Structure formats: C-alpha cells, structure tokens
Chains A and B, each alone.
Chain A
Amino acid sequence: MRRILIIAIPIVALLAVAPNRLNGYYLNLLYITVLYVGLAYGWNIISGYAGYFSFGQIAFFGIGAYATGLIVVNLQWHWILAALAGGLIACALSVPMGYVMLRLRGPFFAMGMFGLAQTSRVVITAIPATGGGSGLFLPPGSDLRSIYYWTLAVTLGAIALTMWIDRSAFGLRLQALREDEQVAGTLGIDVTLEKIYAFALSALIPGLLGGGYIWFLTYIEPDAAFSPRLDLQSVVMAILGGVGTVWGPLVGGVLMTQIAEALWARFPQIYLMIFGGLLVALLIVLPRGIVPALTSRIRRSV
C-alpha cells in the first residue's frame, strides 16, 4: 500500500497541476484520457469482477449526461450539484434495471445490455423535454479546467474503489459468484444482492462521468451520449489492460486513448474497423491483458 502511495501521490499532484501548464489541445487530451480511464474502471466492476460482461454500460453515461442537462436547464443548479445528481440518478435507475437484467446470463446479458442502452437512447430521444434528436444545449456554467478536475476526481475515486474491491470481502464475494454462481449461493453469498451492488457501482461511475461530459461538450445529443464507440472503447481498454484487475483499466485506458485519438484524427472512416480488429487481435494474442502478463512474468523471474 505504501509503495502505491509513494508512486501515486506525485502523479496525482502532477495531474492536479497540469491545467496550469497545458494548452488547450493537451488539456483536452488529458481530459479525454482521464474520462476513458474512468469509463474503463466502471465497466471493469460488473464485467471483470462480477463476470457479467456488459455491452451497454454506456446507457448510464448517457442517462447521467441527460439527467444533468435537464436539471441545469430546468432547475438552474450549480454545475457540480447537477453533475452529482446526474450520476446519482443513473445509479438509482440502475437498481431496478439491474434487478431485471441480471437474471440474464452470458450472451443474453451482454446483448440485453446493448439493447438497454439503445432503448434508453430511443426513449430519451422521444421525450420532447430533452430536445430529441437536435439535442440539449447548456447555458454557460463551467469550463474545461473545472470539468477536468471533476472527471479526475471521479476517476481517482473509481480507482480507489477498485483497489478496495480487490482486497475486500465484497470483492471476494463477487469473484466467487463470477467463478460459479450456484456454488457461491450455497456458500452463503446472496448473489442477487451482490450483483446489484456491482451493477450500481458500474452505473454510478459512468453516470458521474456523463454529468461532466455534457459540460465538456456544452450540449448533448443522443448519439454522443449513447455512443457505441465509447462503449466499445471501454471494453477494449479494460481487456487490453487486464479484465478484473486493479491496474488493468488504467494501463489499457492510457495506452489506448493515445492510440485512439491518433487514429480518430487521421482515419475517422476506418476507425471503428481498426478498433474492432484490435479487440479481435487482443483476444488472440493477449487474452488476459497487459497487467496479468506483466505480473506473471515478474513473478517468474523473481
């Protein structure tokens, strides 16, 4: 633990000071990196620790963004309160959704979650108050610096949460139910409850991040909020780094963001294709991800 803090504190300090030193483009890139890392961490809890691979966590990102937007437009709250509320609303909605969806397993859950994300998009587009397809525009209320700090705070919180989960009784229960749900039940684990906790956490994080994202864009529209591209990216990043590990999403997120942004800038047409291909290649070449591959190599050489 101490070793981690020794490395972490300077890095966090650097990240905190960064906005003062970086110009617009780099600050932008830093924000995006932190955002993607955060999304990957959110995905990692339900998919990596609980073993319920979800291809639709973006639903909560979008819900968080829209909830925040609607609160600001209609209730004129301060942007931090609005973003916080947005995240909490996404989390609250995830409980009944999870109660239903988590009855599904494997491919049904994965596809079902995708469907849930699409359904959320459609429903939100259909509600007139959200501006439908044209989107929702925000009045001024924040800036890139503030949004960066918000996102950094949420992502650091997500990392800390994951560190806690990894070594806690809750984490052990999740991993047990991931390995064998029926056996976990007969060993005293209330699998339904634990799954819902994991799912709610995996909704809170993207929800809070979404609340910040809408400020970043200063507007939101359905395709941006429920972007399949963002969803795919979280999956790839977590898998690249190492599913179900503490540092996997960080490693995968940081690496992948740089690659993603470079690709997106240069080859927007074939971007999705490359990303898809990357995921496929990763699964064949590095199925467990970078972090486990590194740690087992370190273990072997010691």
Chain B
Amino acid sequence: MSEPILSVTNVRVAFGGVQALAGVSLEIREGEILSLIGPNGAGKTTLFNVISGVLRPQHGDVRFLGRSIIGRPPHEIARLGIGRTYQIVRPFGSLSVVDNVAVGGLIHARSIAAARAAAREIVEFVGLGPFADRIAATLTLTQRKRLEVARALALRPRLLLLDEVMAGLTPSEMDTMADFVVRLGERGIGTVCGIEHVMRLVMRISHRIVVLDAGRCIAEGDPKAIQSDPRVIEAYLGAPLIETI
C-alpha cells in the first residue's frame, strides 16, 4: 500500500439547507481495501456521488491519479478508471445479465462481440454463470448484488467504489461476498473503497477505515485503532462497534 490514487480535499456539499458534506478530506491508497463507515445520513453515499461525478460539490477538490476530476462528467470518470455500485441495486432490467455487464466493457472492447465475451468471463467470475442469458429483472436480490459488482468490474477500474454491497444478504452470503472483495486483487482491482455497516466484516477485511459523521471525517486508521476510538463509539452510540472479532 503506497501512494494515494484518490485524494479528496475539503469537499463541501449542501442540499438546500442541509450540509451533507462539511469539508471532508481523505485519501485512498493503491492496493488497499478502505471502508467508509458512519451512522446513517453521515454523507457516505453523497461522497461516492461526488467522486463518481454524479454530484458536483460547492467546494473542494478530488484528484484521481494526480488529475482533478471535479466537474468532469460521470462517463469520463468511469473511463479514467473509477467504477461504482449503488446501494439500492439498479440493474438494466430488460437487458440480459451478459448485456448488463457488457455495457461497461464497451469502453475497452473493439466490438460488441468482444465486450460480450469479456462480459461472460466476468459473469462467471462473480458466480452468475448459469444465469448469463437471463433477463436481469428475473434475478434475486443476491444475484442482483453480484450483477451490480460485475457491471462495475467490466470497466476494469483502478478504483472500485462499493456502496453497501452487503445490505440485504444473509450472514453466509455476506461472508462469501467479503471473501470475494478480498479476491478482487487477483483481477488487478486491488483498490476498493466500500461503504458498509456490517462491522465484523469491516474489521475483518479492511486495511484502513475512515469514519464519517454528520458530513465530517471524525476518525481514520486501522481496524484496531478505530474500534477503540472513543469518538467513533460515541458516534455510533455504542451499538454494532461493541462486536469485535
């Protein structure tokens, strides 16, 4: 784990009267699994929206691989190498699983056939092989979650943003997903930033954790340090953080 591939500097976002992000700064280093945690409403998804270009902050900068990406449209940011998933899964319902994944692959492939071939491989990798030609709307939630990740993988991103990829899964499915996230390094996607609430998994797989509360960064460090940080405990009012590994 070395240089930062993404650095967020003093980003401020307000919606009407609500300050969603009140000056957030953090960095994501190459090859690490960084977890972004914090109570609901802390601004985590908003930060993802800023990084992926969907939302433009009023203030602050985001630099990816040395270049500022503020103000760039989402498709450019995707091409630069940032892929993301959504908290509430949004598959392309009337398209097949393969086609869903092939979309992201179009930025690399020379033809749609090549994109589909690459997509099939990714579909196998995430374990949706048997459903490759099914229409996405017929998938179960667990399958859709995997599809969500597969779509982002097709971009061959240098940084993958996973928004609550565990939500709605059973405990054993969660463990599988967690192992999967760790294995992403095998595919050359070593840098992952995940928003998560399931603490035992966060503690298990993260290299570093950043804690957000009310639009501010209140703590940052490795799992052990975060667990015992009184500010973090206070922010969560002592709930899930009591569970340790």
CB–CB under 8 A between A and B in the complex?
yes
Q: Is the CB of A176 within 8 A of B73?
A: no
B55-94 CB contact bits vs A (8 Å, 1 = yes)?
0000000000000000001110111000110100010111
Kindly state the separation between the CA atoms of A127 and B112 in the bound complex, as whole angstroms: 47
User: Which A165-202 residues have C-beta < 8 A from chain B?
Assistant: 167-169, 172-173, 175-176, 179-180, 182-192
Kindly state the separation between the CA atoms of A187 and B86 in the bound complex, as whole angstroms: 12
Q: Is the CB of A188 within 8 A of B94?
A: no
Q: Is the CB of A190 within 8 A of B92?
A: no
Q: Is the CB of A183 within 8 A of B104?
A: no
The answer to whether residues A176 and B74 also contact, given A168-B112, A169-B112, A185-B54 and a CB cut-off of 8 A, is: no
Kindly state the separation between the CA atoms of A189 and B107 in the bound complex, as whole angstroms: 8
Kindly state the separation between the CA atoms of A173 and B115 in the bound complex, as whole angstroms: 12
Kindly state the separation between the CA atoms of A213 and B220 in the bound complex, as whole angstroms: 70
Q: Is the CB of A179 within 8 A of B54?
A: no
Cβ contacts under 8 Å, A179 to chain B: 92-95
Q: A182-B54, A183-B92, A186-B54 are in contact. List 20 more A-B contacts (CB 8 A).
A: A169-B109, A169-B115, A172-B102, A172-B106, A173-B106, A175-B92, A175-B95, A176-B92, A179-B92, A179-B93, A179-B94, A180-B92, A182-B74, A185-B54, A186-B74, A188-B103, A188-B104, A188-B107, A189-B75, A189-B106
Kindly state the separation between the CA atoms of A172 and B84 in the bound complex, as whole angstroms: 20
Kindly state the separation between the CA atoms of A13 and B92 in the bound complex, as whole angstroms: 40
Residues of chain A whose beta carbon lies under 8 Å from any beta carbon of chain B: 167-169, 172-173, 175-176, 179-180, 182-192
> What range describes how many residues of B lie at the interface?
20 to 34
User: Which B177-202 residues have C-beta < 8 A from chain A?
Assistant: none
Checking A182, A184, A188, A191 against B155 with a beta-carbon cut-off of 8 angstroms, the contacting residue is: A188
Kindly state the separation between the CA atoms of A191 and B75 in the bound complex, as whole angstroms: 8
CB distance from B45 to the nearest CB of A (A): 13
Chain B residue nearest in CB terms to A168: B112
Cβ contacts under 8 Å, B154 to chain A: 187
Cβ contacts under 8 Å, A189 to chain B: 75, 103, 106
The answer to whether residues A188 and B75 also contact, given A169-B112, A175-B95, A182-B54 and a CB cut-off of 8 A, is: yes
Q: Is the CB of B111 within 8 A of A183?
A: no
Kindly state the separation between the CA atoms of A168 and B103 in the bound complex, as whole angstroms: 11
Kindly state the separation between the CA atoms of A175 and B106 in the bound complex, as whole angstroms: 13
Kindly state the separation between the CA atoms of A185 and B93 in the bound complex, as whole angstroms: 16
Task: Report if B52 contacts A (CB, 8 A).
Answer: yes
CB distance from B149 to the nearest CB of A (A): 13
Checking A167, A169, A185 against B74 with a beta-carbon cut-off of 8 angstroms, the contacting residue is: A185
Q: Is the CB of B112 within 8 A of A167?
A: yes
Q: Is the CB of A169 within 8 A of B92?
A: no
Q: Which of A179, A184, A186 has the largest count of B CB atoms less than 10 A from its CB?
A: A186
Cβ contacts under 8 Å, B112 to chain A: 167-169, 172
